[in-house]
Structure 1
Amino acid sequence: MDPRALYTRSLDQLAMVFAGVTPADLDRPTPCTEYDLRTLLGHVVGGIHRIAYVGEGGRALDLAATVGEIDDTDWSGALDRARARVAAAWSDDATLDRVVDAPWGEAPGRLVLTGYLTEAVTHTWDIAQVVAPAEALDEELALISLGMAQQVLPADGDRTGSPFAALRAVPAEADAYSRLAGWLGREVPLAG
């Protein structure tokens, strides 16, 4: 699979959610409990720069996972700059099959980019819970990301040392984003 179109789609959706961020929101907590919204936005933009750097041939852990200071009114601009960089870095088809250095080890570029797809989709949900909880998100992206998360993080696996909490139960009728969030250990708000 070529994950570039899906990753671009996930960044388009992320841009829609970023557009709803106001300076008044930046100190609010997020479902990604170690981050307030400002820190999570910095982590997301930093992650996009990191996967761009990997596509450019760099080692992932040589680049910080978060960006430095961003003006409170420039989060969408920061995201746009990161998006342009990642599009250029992954434009060559050969990058997909080249072994690249990810935070978790070496793997083919297409696999690493798919991991970053799951990160972008998950953090889109995290941010949307703060700024637009009723916003309809792309269900297909969540289903693909959930499938990846289930392969990498088995339900009964040890998550010690990983950034993911233990699996949380969600209602059987939950949408794909809620199931993904629960799989990654996030507290999922109950409907109603």
Structure 2
Amino acid sequence: MNSTSPAQGGGPAADPRPVFERAARQMASLFEAVRPAQLADPTPCPGFDVGALLSHVVGGTLRIAQVGEGGGPGEVDPDAEVDSGVSGVADDAWPAAYERARERFRAAWADDAKLDAVVTVPWGTMPGRFALAGSVMEVVTHAWDLAQALGRRAELDAGLAEFALAVAERAVPAETRGGEVPFGPPVPAPEGADAYDELAAWLGRSWTPAGSAGGSHG
């Protein structure tokens, strides 16, 4: 994958929509790689097996789409609740469900004026461009979760992690963890860490090949 940092040429929040699309393409490739037999496998995201994580990602994409459409984060579709994700998706239909969510996102945020419109998302009230940057961080982090669970870590786009890490370091400072902030304290990054490892460590995640997970959900 292209390893050029998408943060170059305008800063992390200049227009996050192309970066979100790039992150979503990466996520879509991981969705395509999941087999039904893997849905119960653990991930580094505590409390989320592979199937629950797919559901959460689809639900989160629908949530930010609805924000772009003018609805608040608590006004999400009945089948796309914020925390539990979506329901009623067949085991082999997750890629199609994610593509539908992505299409809705693109339509919802197509108007450039929405980048400066003030919106409310679960992590605060802010201009749309900053809400979208936070959504990129979430998608990229969950791509790391899913790639680790599937053994596809080497396929991840390094530039996306650099973008997400820059957002995370500003949006999720170490001293604000706990309570309403759904991340644990930062953990040490492994020796030789790349941007994905640093992102995961900053957000309190740890993972071993044996399948034990640590950290906090986000």
- TM tier, shorter chain? over 0.9
Calculate the TM-score normalised by the size of structure 1.
0.94
1:111-164 Cα deviation digits (max 9, x unpaired): 101100000000011011111334321111101111111112223443333211
Q: Secondary structure at the match of 1:135?
A: helix
Which residue of 3, 19, 34 corresponds with 1:21?
A: 34
Contact 1:167 1:183 in 2 (8 A): yes
Q: Distance in 1 between matches of 2:73 and 2:46?
A: 24
The Cα shift of 1:24 comes to 0.5
Alignment map for 1:55-134 (pairs within 5 Å)? 55-63=68-76, 64-65=81-82, 66-134=85-153
* CA shift digits 1:29-85 (9 cap, x unpaired): 110012111111100000000010000010012222211121000010011100100
Unaligned segments of structure 2, at least 5 residues = 1-13, 210-218
Tell me how far 1:172 sits from its aligned partner.
4.4
How far is the alpha carbon of 1:101 from its aligned partner? 1.5
Residue 47 in structure 1 maps to residue 66 in structure 2: no
Residue of structure 2 in register with 1:34 after alignment: 47
CA distance in 2, matches of 1:35, 1:100: 28
Partner of 2:4: none
Q: Which has the higher contact order (CA 8 A, sep 6+)?
A: 2
Please state whether the residue corresponding to 1:60 is helix, strand or coil.
Answer: coil
Deviating 4+ runs (over 4 angstroms): none
Q: What is the count of residue pairs matched by the alignment? A: 190
Q: How far apart, CA to CA, are the structure 1 residues paired with 2:101 and 2:159?
A: 23
Q: How large is the RMSD of aligned CA atoms in angstroms?
A: 1.4
1:181 aligned residue (200, 203, 209):
200
Q: Would you say the 8 A contact 1:178–1:188 is kept in 2?
A: no
CA distance in 1, matches of 2:124, 2:116: 15
1:159 counterpart (134, 154, 178): 178
Task: Give the TM-score normalised by structure 2.
Answer: 0.83
CA shift in 2, pair 1:157/1:99, >3 Å: closer
Letter in 2 for 1:75: W
Deviates more, 1:20-29 or 1:145-154: 145-154
Name stretches of at least 5 consecutive residues in structure 1 with no aligned partner: none
Q: Distance in 2 between matches of 1:102 and 1:157?
A: 18
Identity %: 45
